[in-house]
Structures are given as C-alpha cells and as structure tokens.
Amino acid sequence: MGGVIGRAKGENNCNIGCINKSGKIGEISRMSEQRRILYGLDDVPKPFPKALGLGIQHVLTMFGATVAVPLLLAGAMEMTAQETSVLVAAAMLAAGVATLLQVNLGTRLPLVQGMSFAFLGPFFAIIGTISGRGGDPATIMTYIAGAIILGSFVEMFVGFSGLIGKIQNVLTPVVIGPVIALIGLALFGAGAPMAGENWLLSGIVIVSIFYLTLVLGRKKPMISVFSILMSVAIAYGVAVILTVTGVYGATTPGAVDFSPIADADFIRTGLIFPWGLPRFDLGFFLAVMAAYLASLIESYGDYHAVNQAAKGPELTEKQVSRGIGMEGVGCFFAGMFGGLANTSYTENIGLVGLTGVASRYVVNIGAVVLIFLGIFGKFGGAVATIPSPIVGGLYTALFGLIAAIGISNTAKADLSSIRNMMIIGFILFMGLSVPAYFQGLEAAGITFAPSWPQWLAEIVSTIGQTSMAVAAILGLILDNVIPGTPEERGISPKSTEKLISEKDRC
C-alpha cells in the first residue's frame, strides 16, 4: 500500500483496498484519458538525458511517501541518526530492485514499487513487543525482516498460483475498508505528541500539504503529485534557516543536526541483512499477513489503473497473477536488504496519466536511480537530518486521510444493509479496543493468559496488539459466515465491473 497522500486511492469512490497517495486521482485519470500517450510501453525516449530526466521524475514523485515510512518507524524505534540513514538507504535499495522485477518480470507495466503504509500497524506492534523485552533497533529490524520474508512467500504463492481472483471473493469491501481505515486510526496516539515538539515546523507541513493538494493542486494536478515532497522541503528549509541563524540551539526540538551526513559512508557496505540474520516469530508473521492481504487487493486495482493510463492491451489474469507473485519476490529482497515491505505506488500511476509517458525504459531508469540512492550512503545521512516534528506533521496530515478513505471503500458494499453496518462497526471498534486491552495489560505488567503455553500467549498477544490483524480476522470470519448476497457484500459482477472501470483513483 504504498505509500500515501499513502499506500489510499480515490477521493469519493475509492476502489477496494486502495490508498490514495496523490490526492487528485479523479482529475489525473480524466487528464490521462484526454492526453495522448507520448511514449508507449516499449518506446525509448531519446536522447538519453531526456529519458534520465523522466526516470528521475518518477523517483521524485514517490520520494515523499517513500522517505516518510522509514522515518516514522525510525522515530518509533528511537534509532540513532546513523541507524536511520541505513534504514532509509535500505528501503530505497529494496524499492529499486522490486521495481526492476515488476517492470521486467511481473506485469511488465510501468509500475514503481515502494514502501507501503499498510505495514505500519503490524510493524509498530512488533516494535512495541520487542522494545518491551529490552530489544534495540537492530533486534527489532531482524524480527521485521523475518515477518516480511515469511509473508513474501505467501504473496508469491497467492500470485504465482493464480489465487488472487478467489481472494477477492473472500476479502470484500466490508472487510478491507475497515482494515485500511485502521492503518490511520490505530496510530492516532503518535500524531500530536510528535508534531507538538515544534508546532511551527509541523504546522508548516500540515498547512502546506492541505494547500498544495486541495488548493493549488486543483488548478495544477502535478503540484498535488509532489505535495508531500514539497511540504517537507518547505518545513526543512525553515528549520535549516532557524538552525543556521542560531534561533534554534542544538537541543531545540526541530533543530537540524548535519552530523549524519558527515558520518555516513559514501558507499554502503554490508547490504545483505545489515541488521543481522532475520528472526522469525509466528505471531509477528500472522500480524503482518493482514497488511499483505490489504496490499494484494490494492495492487490488483493498481494494475488495471496503470494499464488504462498507459493505454496498454487488455490485462490478463496471468499478467495480474505474475505481478502479485513478483511483488512477493520484491518483498523477499526487501527483507534481505534490511528494508521494508513494498507495493505498487499510486502517485506514479498518476504521473503516467499526467505526462503520457508509459515507457518501461523510463521506469527502469528510475529503478536504477533508486538503487544508486540505496548504495550511496550520504543520501540516507541527509534524510536522517529531517527533524522529528516535520515527521509528526506528516503523521497528522496523512493518517487521518487514510482512515477516511478506508471508510469510503466500504461504499462498494451495500451500506443500507444492517448486516454490513453491524460487521463494519464491530470490527472497527474491536480493531481499536482489543489492542488497547492488550497494551493495558502490558503497561500494568500483567501477563496475558499465564496458564497458557508461553509461545501461544505471545502469538495471541502480538495479534491482539495489531489493529489491522484483529479487524481482518474478525471481518473475514463474520463476512464469510453470516449470509449475504454478492450485491450486499460488494462482489457482484456489477461491483467488479465498477471496480475495474472506476480508475479515477489513479
């Protein structure tokens, strides 16, 4: 799920499982229908500097959301600046490799891969659990890597076996909508506290995102595509000025510390398992699978969206299955490189529609640039200098949007049905209440189910602390056990046709 204004798609009629990361989806699609394709899937823009510029544009388009995810997690793990730079670089490297795999061996469409916001909930649960045991950031990342790798095998199986079509009949809008909503709702406790460290900087981020997306972006959709990147750049510029002029001292929240750039290596070494060998935990794996399910459905819509934007031939089931399977391979490499799970990025689909450039060659260049950034250590060091209040501003502006769009996804189902309303309301409530219960036990030092085997209690506790996992499990059971018509559940042929045709979200 990639990423955001993240990794939620569609303003009013968002498709199943989508997270609109660009915010101007309807206008972008209508523009893509009006514009002719300048470079088709197999075209090679010449001269090379032109192709390079178009490839870098893809990197810039996904840059804001791609950097935001590792920064959010680094803050939660209390990583040092050096550790943060490694995480950012590893995420870039993984995104570049995953993009190459998708473009050349997966769907063979101009799809950029990047970090998904859908995985934040499970990752935060892992962070909380391992931190509670006294684990340091490196230890936490080995468990995250293990969960990503195990989940990647499931995604590969679902994709290469062709099961994605069957999953859509099980994971309906009644379930996926609340699950996506909880990506944002479950993180409410981290927004204001982090932003409140310096309301000036976080306020600049929030106001800029709203203004660039909803005011200027209505007139010039390309501005909306870059709204996250531009907002962070504006706030960061203010922070640099206030730091250099001495207004902010070294200990002032929001001051920019440039030492990570100097400390970072020019060329990173130890690219494979930089945090150590992965560690596997069944509870963490099950928690992460909820995010993988959301990502699967999201990517299904992405493939149809980019194919329409690129005006490609009719998308085949084999092509879709191959794409899902290759996303799993990309996630495997993400775990191996010490990065984070990847998914298709909607911002870049919008860019294809806006520019009329659907060339795979161009996206391949962008992927190579991402790999370079992942190997060039100074880049990660530069990103690590972004003050935490700016990241807090991203929290508050983006996660509420994800929650709202997740709720809007339920519109594909019949919301006049008391069956659907009870299921949706129940799993939303339990997705917030059950984690609060388990977190309360942990805070009070009370052991959950002391009479149970320790391994079983830990698995249940980990799942119980993950909002998305709780909602997904309860939703899958209730929605598939309680009788309901296909129309009621939003999976009738008419609903499916609407899902594929409504690509105004990308």
The pLDDT tens digits of the residues spanning 456-467 come to: 888 888 888 888
Average pLDDT for 351-379: 90
Q: Three-state DSSP class for 148?
A: helix
In a domain, 173, yes or no: yes
In a domain, 69, yes or no: yes
Average pLDDT for 368-396: 89
Which band of pLDDT confidence, cut at 50, 70 and 90, is reported for residue 495? Answer: low
Q: Is the pLDDT of residue 14 over 70?
A: no
Which residue's entry shows tokens 């006294």?
A: 134
Q: What is the pLDDT of residue 503?
A: 40
User: What's the rounded Cα separation, in Å, for the pair 180 and 422?
Assistant: 17
Number of Cβ atoms within 10 Å of the Cβ of 493? 9
Which residue's entry shows tokens 């206008």?
A: 27
Burial letters 244-273, b for 16+ CB under 10 A, else e: eeeebeeeebbbbeeebbeebbeebeeeee
Residues belonging to the chain: 506
* Average pLDDT over the chain, rounded to an integer: 85
Q: Which domain holds residue 384?
A: 25-410
Number of domains in the chain: 1
Number of Cβ atoms within 10 Å of the Cβ of 7? 35
- Alpha helices (runs of H) in 186-281, residue ranges in sequence order: 188-195, 199-211, 217-219, 221-225, 227-244, 259-263
Q: What is the pLDDT of residue 60?
A: 80
Render 166-209 in DSSP notation, one character per residue.
HHHHHS-HHHHHHHHHHHHHTTHHHHHHHHTT-HHHHHHHHHHH
In a domain, 347, yes or no: yes
The pLDDT tens digits of the residues spanning 54-104 come to: 888 888 878 777 888 898 899 889 999 889 999 999 999 999 999 999 999
Residues whose CB is less than 8 angstroms from the CB of residue 422 and which lie 6 or more positions away in sequence, other chains included: none
User: What's the rounded Cα separation, in Å, for the pair 353 and 35?
Assistant: 8
In a domain, 494, yes or no: no
In a domain, 229, yes or no: yes
Q: Which of 341, 384, 363, 360 is nearest to 95 (CA)?
A: 341
Are 107 and 322 a contacting pair, CB within 8 Å? yes
The pTM of this model reads: 0.79
Which band of pLDDT confidence, cut at 50, 70 and 90, is reported for residue 183? Answer: confident
End-to-end C-alpha distance for the chain, whole angstroms: 13
The pLDDT tens digits of the residues spanning 224-270 come to: 777 878 888 999 999 999 999 999 998 899 999 998 888 888 889 88
In a domain, 262, yes or no: yes
The pLDDT tens digits of the residues spanning 116-168 come to: 888 888 898 899 889 988 999 999 999 999 999 999 999 999 999 988 877 77
In a domain, 5, yes or no: no
Q: What is the pLDDT of residue 496?
A: 52
Q: Three-state DSSP class for 394?
A: helix
Whole-number percent of the chain with pLDDT over 70: 90
In a domain, 454, yes or no: no
Beta pairing partners, 414: none
